[in-house]
Amino acid sequence: MALFPGKDPDRGLVQRAQSGDKAAFGKLVNRYYEMVYALSYGVLHSAEPARDVTQDVFLKVYHEIVKFQGKSKFKTWLYRVTVNTALDAARKIKPATSLDMTDASVEENVKPVVLEDPSPGPRDRASGEELKDMLKRAIGELSPEHRAVLTMREWQQMSYEEIAETLDLEMGTVMSRLHYARKKLAEILKQKKGFEKGSF
Amino acid sequence: MERDDKLIHKLYRDSMRREMARPEVRAAKKAFIRNYFEEVKPFYHRPAVMVPSLALLGVLILIFVFPRPLGERTMRVTEGPPALTTDAYLEVLDRTVDTGVPSVQVKRITSHVGPTMVYQKLYHDVPITIVWVFPGEVL
């Protein structure tokens, strides 16, 4: 099954790039740079490695584009290469990262948490920056795999099916990871809120 | 839980939006495309070659297409004493022709049209070009 069914809008540029047209590939880079960077940043949670991974992805794809047969869309292929490259980079940065925490048994132990609306009111407008920092730290505590799913769903707004196909996972696994990531984020934010009472 | 999910969604998108709006991201994209995938222009399209070439072309056009300004040597001739006369002979088609114009002492010549005036006229059915140069006063 191919993501985003229908004709591949990048076909013309891909064919030109396959015949050695560097400028045509430059147009593809121009079109998808933000998408690749956002996904890399989402996984790595750091700007500089994300920039390096983004460049690695495009250089890798440029050198491999001759092998691209068009069975899936170029964008889908690019997503896959990006996620794999970003996860590899994350493992090199933090080799001990594990997905064990995604086990259903563990998920069940995570108690439901309720967050308050962080919209800035007259009293706590100044706490907005603190909340941003909290969220940043909370995302940093997730595994790269969870961050990948979270970014694809929350930022790229991909369907569960699209995420499953891109990551080569079962749809249930995608839903489970997403559920866990959201719950974990809410829990971390709540804990931090409790720790810094009144900052929300 | 749905409320939490919405909140996480909002917070997460805000966080990503801030990251993506950083000028460094745009700058890195621009530099990356320029360094790796920009079409290499022929050497003569580079400013270091193009600008002097265009300048040289301009000079050549000025030299060959537009009339050259009068040289200093010509100016010296016309800067002679005010006793300029029309007592002269024209050399036309290798023949010396008497102008038949009586000598006239000219003490001062002024111009309303600029420092030079060029026109053609027939002289004994021969077209001649007359060039007036006014090195002195121009009104």
> Which residues of chain A does B28 touch, with a Cβ-Cβ cutoff of 8 Å?
51, 54
Tokens 């940065």 — which residue?
A93
* Cα torsion angle, A200, B6, B12, B18, sign: negative
| Whole-prediction pTM | 0.62
Map chain A to HEC letters: CCCCCCCCCCHHHHHHHHCCCHHHHHHHHHHHHHHHHHHHHHHHCCHHHHHHHHHHHHHHHHHHHHHCCCCCCHHHHHHHHHHHHHHHHHHHHCCCCCCHHHCHHHHHHCCCCCCCCCCCCCCCHHHHHHHHHHHHHHHHCCCHHHHHHHHHHHHCCCCHHHHHHHHCCCHHHHHHHHHHHHHHHHHHHHHHHHHCCCCC
Least CA distance to A62: which residue of chain B?
B37
**Considering CB atoms only, which of A37, A117, A135 is closest to B15?**
A135
Query: Is the Cβ pair B11, A118 closer than 8 Å?
Result: yes
**CA distance linking residue A138 with residue B51, whole number of Å:** 56
Cα separation values, A169 from A50, A77, B7, Å: 23, 15, 26
* CB of A55 less than 8 A from some CB of B: yes
Q: How many Cα neighbours within 13 Å face the side chain of B97?
A: 13
Q: pLDDT tens digits, chain B, 139 residues: what are they? A: 577 788 888 889 998 999 999 999 999 999 999 999 887 666 777 777 788 888 888 888 877 776 655 555 554 445 555 444 444 444 444 555 566 666 667 666 677 777 777 888 888 888 888 888 776 655 5
Query: Is the Cβ pair A26, B33 closer than 8 Å?
Result: yes
Dihedral in degrees, nearest 10, Cα atoms A58, A64, A70, A74: -10
**CA distance linking residue B48 with residue B52, whole number of Å:** 7
Dihedral in degrees, nearest 10, Cα atoms A99, A100, A104, A105: -160
Q: Convert the pLDDT of each residue in A127-150 to its tens digit.
A: 667 777 888 888 988 999 999 999
Most confident of A36-50, A65-79, B5-19: A36-50
Cα separation values, A149 from A25, A111, A132, B15, B124, Å: 27, 21, 20, 16, 100
Least CA distance to A54: which residue of chain B?
B29
The complex's ipTM works out to 0.75
**CA distance linking residue B127 with residue B119, whole number of Å:** 10
Query: Is the Cβ pair A33, B32 closer than 8 Å?
Result: yes
- How confident is the model at residue B125, as a pLDDT? 81
Top-confidence residue, A93 or B85: A93
**Considering CB atoms only, which of A22, A131, A155 is closest to B37?**
A22
Residue B84 phi, psi dihedral angles, 5° rounding: -80, 135
Shortest distance, CA B33 to any CA of chain A (angstroms): 6
Query: How many CB pairs lie under 8 A apart between chains A and B?
Result: 90
Query: Is the Cβ pair A34, B33 closer than 8 Å?
Result: no
Check: CB of residue A21 under 8 Å from CB of residue A50.
no
Tokens 């969220």 — which residue?
A135
* CB of A175 less than 8 A from some CB of B: no
